[in-house]
Amino acid sequence: MTQILYRTTDALDRPSATVTSVLHPLNPSGEVLVYDSLYDTLNPEDNPSRFLTGTANVDDLIYTPEVMYATPALLSGKTVVISDIQGPNADFGAGPEYGAATLDGLRAARASANTGVEPGQKTAIFGYSGGAIGSAWAAAMLDSYAPELRPDIVGVVEGGVLVNPERALTYAGNSPLWAGVVGMAITGLDRAYDLHLRDYLNATGQAMMDDLKDKGLLAAAGRYANLHWKDIAAPGYEDIRSVPRLGEVLDKINLVNAPAPSVPVLLTQGDAGFWELTPQVNAANTTGDGVMTTTDVHALRDKYRAAGTPLTYREYGLLSHSVSTLATMGESLGWLTDRFVGKPVPDSLPTPPPAAAAGSR
């Protein structure tokens, strides 16, 4: 393994630095997999670079999918690039920062003489959940931020992706399981964009930010059940868009407002959030996988299709967010294999499993 400290850009377009870890296969094929981790955290000590050296603070359970996905890639000869996409301060939820870190991590791997990663090698990007924030924003930013990488990107996987954060906060806030992640997102966006949100929160909201400021996904899960902005806002700021700059940030990190990718995309979404205790009849007016909103994934799907993005869309009608992780990983292996060999991109995957067929659109 080679680890590289590299320059990137934070959420406010300022120079920043983070780490990428390059895992070397025994028999290199000349192909590259950029794996964006779902390590969702507000603690920089939870970064993948620390996990890979045995010094992470986070419970190792959160990295189980990483090991499951990276291992077959390495065995097939692919070099695997895993960057600390949340940056040095763990800016949870700041999509453009994730995208920049993803692309700059690949740049850093290509610039090093110690990685075996070179221009001209076919490269795929994978992300699920928090990792899909990175992969989706990398795809959206590719042509403008890192156009020299574009010829080598054969496909991007965006599974269980955060599209419209404002609606997702409302939807997941109804959940006894996922509401704590809503608090994490509020805290992460405050940190990333210097929003000074404490000035617009009541005592409950301020205590929540203090509690979550160094928590990861597993520690936040199950906390603050039924968390809604109006319940933590200071008087006069019950409308989230009344907070200075917050509405602007929510619009900026809404993927529907970002450019559609020019590279092939596999987009997946579960639609059975009731398994994870999120009500499917709710104030957000959407179903979802428990944390991500299906209505907004449909909007992203339709935007991609209208823009001509080579798109494969798969919806798992009977699967929730956590279980859809495994479904997406399994299906993406074959999908990416086809992209590496240059096969045409299918509009939808053939012979969907029974659990997915009921909800496919």
pLDDT in tens, 49-66: 998 988 766 555 566 677
Which domain-ending residue is among 210, 226, 251?
Answer: 251
Kindly state whether residues 175 and 137 are assigned to the same domain. Answer: no
Kindly state whether residues 48 and 139 are assigned to the same domain. Answer: yes
Residues belonging to the chain: 361
Question: What is the side-by-side order of every strand in the sheet holding 79-83?
Answer: 2-9, 15-23, 79-83, 32-36, 123-128, 153-159, 265-270, 311-316
Query: In this model, does residue 272 exceed pLDDT 70?
Result: yes
Question: Taking the model in full, what pTM does it have?
Answer: 0.94
Q: What is the pLDDT of residues 136-150, one digit of tens each?
A: 999 999 999 999 999
- Number of structural domains in the chain: 2
pLDDT recorded at residue 281: 76
Find tokens 């704590």 and name the residue.
180
Query: In this model, does residue 210 exceed pLDDT 50?
Result: yes
Q: What range defines the domain where residue 283 resides?
A: 2-163+256-357
Is residue 140 a contact partner of residue 303, using CB atoms and an 8 Å limit?
no
Query: In this model, does residue 320 exceed pLDDT 60?
Result: yes
pLDDT over 90, % of the chain: 86
Kindly state whether residues 51 and 151 are assigned to the same domain. Answer: yes
Kindly state whether residues 14 and 136 are assigned to the same domain. Answer: yes
- State both tokens at 153: 């990107």
Kindly state whether residues 106 and 225 are assigned to the same domain. Answer: no
pLDDT recorded at residue 144: 99
Compute the average pLDDT of residues 288-312.
Answer: 97
Kindly state whether residues 233 and 111 are assigned to the same domain. Answer: no
Kindly state whether residues 309 and 244 are assigned to the same domain. Answer: no
Query: In this model, does residue 358 exceed pLDDT 50?
Result: no
Chain-wide mean pLDDT for the chain?
93
Kindly state whether residues 39 and 174 are assigned to the same domain. Answer: no
Kindly state whether residues 199 and 247 are assigned to the same domain. Answer: yes
Q: What is the pLDDT of residues 24-47, one digit of tens each?
A: 999 999 999 999 999 999 999 999
Least confident of 8-17, 161-170, 215-224, 346-355: 346-355
Kindly state whether residues 190 and 71 are assigned to the same domain. Answer: no
Banded pLDDT at 343 (limits 50, 70, 90): very high
Which domain-ending residue is among 229, 251, 273?
Answer: 251
Banded pLDDT at 200 (limits 50, 70, 90): very high
